[in-house]
A and B are shown apart, each in its own frame.
Chain A
Amino acid sequence: MWDDILQFIDPVLDAGFIIGTVKAVVIVVALLGIVPALVWLERRLMGRFQVRLGPNRVGPLGFGQPIADSIKLLFKESIIQSSADKFLFHLAPAVVVFTAIVTFSVIPFGESFTVFGEKIGLWGANINSGLLFVFAISGMGVYGMVLAGLSSNNKYSLMGGLRSSAQMISYELTLGLSALSVIVMTGSLNLIDLVDSQKSLPFILVQPLAFILFFIAGVAETNRAPFDLPEAEQELVAGFHTEYTGMKFAMFFMGEYVNMVTMSSLVTLLFLGGWNSYGLPLWPILAFAGKVFFLLCVFIWLRSTFPRLRYDRLMTFGWKILLPLCLFNLLVTAVIKVL
C-alpha cells in the first residue's frame, strides 16, 4: 500500500515540494509554540513593572502556568448563545489565526544556507512584493474582529467590531506611508533586498521619524494597549470577544500574539537592519531574534506604562497628527532621493 501511495505522489515529491512543506510546518509550529511563551513573558514582565511577582507557583519560575492555562482553555465548555449567527461565530476566530500565520510566511529571518546541495532560505516564501503581501493579509485580519462583533448579536461586541474596523482603516494608512518612505530609499518591495540595503547602517538612523510613526501604527494595528479600544474593559466588557469561551476565545489571543511577533519582525526588517549584526559576533538568526525579542518587550512595556486613549482622541491622533507627519516625511524623502 505504501508503494502505491509513493507512486502516486512521486511526481510531486521533488526537493522544492519537501522543503516547502517542512518550512510551512516549522513556521506554523514555531509561531504557535511562541504564543504560550509570550503570554508567560508578558505576565512576568507586567508583574515586575507593577512591583509584584507575577505567576510563579506552577513549575520553575512559573513556566508551567501557560501549560495549565492552555489545558484549562481546551477543556472549557464552548458556549454559543442562541441568538448568534453560528457560521460567522465559528468563522471569526479562524480568520484571525489564519491571517496572522499566513502573514508571517513571507517574513525572512536569516540568510540562506546550503544543505545536501539544496539552497535553503530562512523564509517561507521570497516574493517580490513581500511588503505589500504582509499589508494585504494582515489587513484581512480585521475581518475576524468585525465578524466576531457582528455575529455575536451583542451591543458591546458590535461596538468593539465597529471600533476595530475604523481603527484599522485609519492606522493602516500611516503604516503603509511610513513604510513607503523606506521603500522610496531602497526602490524595492522585497524584504530581503530591504535588509541587504541596510548592510552599512540601519534605517532607524536615516529615517527616525518613519520608525516612530511605523511603530506607533504597528501597535495600533495589533490592537495592543494603549490602542486596545476594541476590547476596552471599562466601556465594552471585553469588546468583540465578549461572547466567546474556551478555545475560540483563546484563538483571538493567539492571533494577537502572532501579530505582535510579525509586527516586531517587520519593524526589525524595515528599520533595525534585520539580521545584520553590525560588528557584533552573532549568528544572523540570533541577531534577528534578539531584535525581535527586544521589540516584544517594548510592546509589553508600553502596555504597562500608558493608559488607554479615549476613542475620539485616537481618531484625531491618527488622522490629524500621524498622517500629515507621514506625508511630510515621505515628501522630504522623495525630494532628497531625487536631488
Chain B
Amino acid sequence: MFEITYEVVVFVLGITAVLAAFGVILCASPIYCALYLIGNMICLALLFLLFNAEFIAAVQIIVYAGAVMILFLFIIALLGGKKEISEPSVQRSSAFTFVILLFCELLLAAAVKPTHPITGDMAPDVVNAIGSAKAVGIELFSRHLVPFELASILLLIATIGIICLAKFSYLPARRRLK
C-alpha cells in the first residue's frame, strides 16, 4: 500500500517538474517563465525530500527557489517584463531541433539497465543516525575538501570581479558632470 503510494508520488512529482521545465521555455511572459522555474525547483526539492535528503531539499529551496529566483523576479520587475510576440525564425526552429535531439537522447536512458545506488561510508542507517546535514558536512569537509575550497575560491574571484566591474569612480559629482 505505502510502496505504491510512494512510487506514484515520486512519479507525479517528476512529471510535474518536467512540465514546469517545459513551461519555462514555452511561456511567452517572463514573469510566468520565472514562476514555472520556481515550480520546477520546488518539485526537485520535494523529490530530494522523498529520497530522505532533508538537508539538500532545504538548501535547494533556500538558495535556488528563495534567493536566486527572487533576484530573477527583481530584474524582471525592474526591466518591465513584456510579453514576447512569437514569430518563426531560424534560431527558433534550430532550438526546437536541439530540444527534440536531447529528448531522443533521454529516451536512450530507457535502454540502460536499472541504476544502482552509490555505496560509501554514508549508508542510509548512518545518515539516519546522525542526520543528513551532518552527513553532508562530514563528507564535504573531509573527503571532498579540496574541490570544495577550489569552488569557494572560484566564487570569491567571481564576486571580486563583479565588484570591480560594477564599481563607479569616486570622482566628485560636479567634475563627473563635465
Residues of A within 8 A of B (CB): 11, 85, 88, 127-129, 132-133, 135-137, 139-140, 142-143, 146-147, 149-150, 158, 161-162, 165-166, 168-169, 172, 188-190
B102 close to A (CB within 8 Å): no
Partner of B77 from A136, A158, A188 at Cβ < 8 Å = A158
From residue A152, how far is it (CB to closest CB) to chain B in Å?
11
Of all chain B residues, the one with the shortest Cβ separation from A176 is B62
A residues less than 8 Å from B65 (CB atoms): 136, 140
B residues less than 8 Å from A172 (CB atoms): 66-67
From residue A188, how far is it (CB to closest CB) to chain B in Å?
8
From residue B70, how far is it (CB to closest CB) to chain A in Å?
5
Question: How far does the alpha carbon of A139 sit from the alpha carbon of B67 in the complex, in Å?
Answer: 8
Partner of A150 from B38, B55, B59, B73 at Cβ < 8 Å = B73
Is the beta-carbon distance between A139 and B61 smaller than 8 angstroms? Answer: yes
Number of chain B interface residues as a range: 20 to 34
A residues less than 8 Å from B74 (CB atoms): 146, 162, 165-166
Interface residues of B in 39-81 (CB under 8 A from A): 54-55, 58-59, 61-62, 65-67, 70-71, 73-74, 76-78, 81
Interface of chain A, main secondary structure: helix
Interface residues of B in 69-121 (CB under 8 A from A): 70-71, 73-74, 76-78, 81
Is the beta-carbon distance between A146 and B67 smaller than 8 angstroms? Answer: no
Given A129-B54, A132-B62, A146-B77, check contact A189 B131 (CB 8 Å): yes
- Residue of B1, B54, B66 contacting most chain A CB atoms (<10 Å): B66
Question: How far does the alpha carbon of A136 sit from the alpha carbon of B52 in the complex, in Å?
Answer: 17
| Interchain Cβ contacts under 8 Å between A and B, 25 examples | A128-B54, A128-B132, A129-B133, A133-B58, A135-B62, A136-B61, A136-B62, A136-B65, A137-B61, A139-B66, A139-B67, A142-B70, A143-B38, A143-B70, A143-B73, A146-B70, A146-B77, A161-B77, A162-B74, A172-B66, A172-B67, A189-B55, A189-B131, A189-B133, A190-B131
Interface residues of B in 113-141 (CB under 8 A from A): 131-133
Question: How far does the alpha carbon of A324 sit from the alpha carbon of B145 in the complex, in Å?
Answer: 26
Is the beta-carbon distance between B77 and A149 smaller than 8 angstroms? Answer: yes
A residues less than 8 Å from B21 (CB atoms): none
